[in-house]
Structure 1
Amino acid sequence: MPKVTALPGVPRWAALAAHAVPLATLPSGLWRVALVAGLPVAAEPQRGAGEAAYILMLSVVSEGLALMTLGLVRGWGEVVPRWIPVIGGRPVRPLAAVVPALSGAAALFGILAWAFYAQSAGLGEGSGGRSGEGGVTGSVDQTAVLVACYAPLIAWPPLLTAVALAYYRRRTTYASPETA
C-alpha cells in the first residue's frame, strides 16, 4: 500500500481520493505544455505568445486548484498556515472549505456535461460536423493522445465531491465546541 499523508480521523479512501485529484489533472496539463512546446499533439500548433501564456496558465491554475483538494485531508485545511497574514493560525470553518469545494465540483460537473454534449452534437468537429475540418487533432494518433490525457479529468468532480463531503462530515460530526 502506498503511504498517503493525512490527518488522524481522515478515512483512507478520502486521503487516497484527495491525492488522486492532482494526478488526474496532470496529464491534460502536460498535453497543453507539449502543445506550447511545439510537439505534434494537435492538428495546428498554438499561435503567438499570448495564446501560449493562456494555455500554460490554464495548466498552472487547474493543477493549483486540484492541489487545493489536499487541504481537505491535511492540517492546512483545518488551521490556516501561520505564514498567511492576518488570518494565519486561525481555524478554518468547515463551510469555508466545503462551499468552495462543492461549488468547484458543480462547475466541473457542468463543464463535463457541456463537453459530452458538445462532443455528441459534433460541435468540436469544425464546419458541418465533418471530422478533421477545424478540429483539435488531425490524426488518429493525436486523437488517442488527447483522449488519454483528458479522460482522467472525468474523475475530478466526483473525487472532489466525495472528499469535500467526507471533510464536512468529519469536521462537523466530531468537532469540539471551540472549532465548530
Structure 2
Amino acid sequence: MTGTLTVRTALARLHGRTAAGVPRWAVWTAYATTLTALPSCVWRIAAMNFGAPLLEHDTTPRSGHAPGVFTAGWWYVIALSVVSETLAYLSVGLVARWGEVWPRRIPGLGGRRVPVLAAVVPAGLGATALLVFPYSLVMSALGLKITGEPDGLITHGWQTVAFWVAYAPLAAWGPLLGVLTVHYYRRRRGIRSTAVVARAAESVPAP
C-alpha cells in the first residue's frame, strides 16, 4: 500500500494535479503517451552519442546505403531526443489541472483559464502528424527512410530486436494523443455547457 502511495505521490509531483472529472483511464493513457517516445530517445542517445553496440558502428554501409544518421552531430541527437520527450510530456496537460488553468508562474497568463481550442488545435494537429510513425516504421523495416532513401542503419540479431523494442511504441503516440484530445474537448465543452445551464437556471426568478 505504501509503495502504491509513493508511486502516486511521485506521479502527482511530476505531472501536476489531475483535473476534476478526469477518469482514471484517461490519466493512465496520458502517462502511457509520455512513455511512447522515451525508449527511442534512450536508444538514440546510447547508440549514437555513447557508441553502445546497438548497431554496427564500424561497418561500412552496404552498397547503396547512405550514411544517414551517422552524419548528425551529437548535439542534434540530444536536441531531437529532448524535444521528442518534451512534446510527449505535454499530453499530460490534457488531463492535468495546468492544462485547464495557466500556471501562476507564467507572466500575464497565470491563473487564467486555458481556452479549449488553444489546447485542442495543436494537440489535434500533433496527433495527425504523428500518424506518420506507423508508415515510417514500415519503411524502416524495408531499410528505407520515410523519403524512400536508404536509411544507413545496420543491425543484426539482438540489435534488430532492441531497435524494434525501442521504436515500436512510437506507433501508439498519435492514436493515444488523438484519444486524449477528443476526451479533453468533450470534457471541457461538457463542463462549459453545464456551467451555462446552471447560470441560466440561477437567473430565472423564483415563482
Please give the range of the TM-score, normalised by the shorter of the 2 chains.
Answer: 0.7 to 0.9
Structure 1 residue ranges without an equivalent (≥5) = none
Between stretches 76-85 and 107-116, larger displacement belongs to: 107-116
When the two chains are superposed, the root-mean-square deviation of aligned CA atoms in Å is: 2.4
Aligned residues: 168
Distance 1:81 1:145 in 2: 39
**Which residue is equivalent to 1:85?**
107
TM-score, normalised to structure 1, is 0.83
Once structures 1 and 2 are overlaid, which stretch shifts more, 86-95 or 71-80? 86-95
On the 8 A contact 1:94/1:168 being kept in 2, the answer is yes
Matched AA of 2:34: P
Q: Deviations over 1:89-142 (max 9, x none)?
A: 2110111101101100111002432442x2466525xxx98xxxx641331121
1:86 Cα shift? 1.7
* 1:43 aligned partner: 56
Q: C-alpha displacement at 1:44, in angstroms? A: 2.2
Taking the TM superposition and a 5 Å limit, the aligned residue runs for 1:1-180 are 3=8, 5=12, 6-35=18-47, 36-44=49-57, 51-116=73-138, 118-119=139-140, 122-124=143-145, 135-175=152-192, 176-177=195-196
Q: Distance in 2 between matches of 1:149 and 1:37?
A: 16
Give 1 or 2 for the bigger CA radius of gyration: 2
- Hey, which bits of structure 1, 4+ residues long, moved more than 6 A? none
Tell me which moved more, 15-24 or 38-47: 38-47
Does structure 1 conserve the Cα–Cα contact (< 8 Å) formed by 2:33 and 2:176?
yes
**Matched residue of 1:42: which SS?**
coil
The TM-score normalised by the length of structure 2 is 0.73
Whether contact under 8 Å (1:43, 1:135) holds in the other structure is: no
Q: For structure 2, which runs of at least 5 residues remain unmatched after alignment?
A: 13-17, 59-68, 197-207
Measure how far apart 1:85 and its partner are.
1.4
* Percent of paired sites with the same residue: 42
Describe the shift of the 1:138–1:120 C-alpha distance in structure 2 as closer, same or farther (beyond 3 A): closer
One-letter identity of the residue aligned with 1:110: V
The CA deviation string for residues 21-40 of structure 1, in whole angstroms up to 9 with x for no partner, is 11221111110120111111
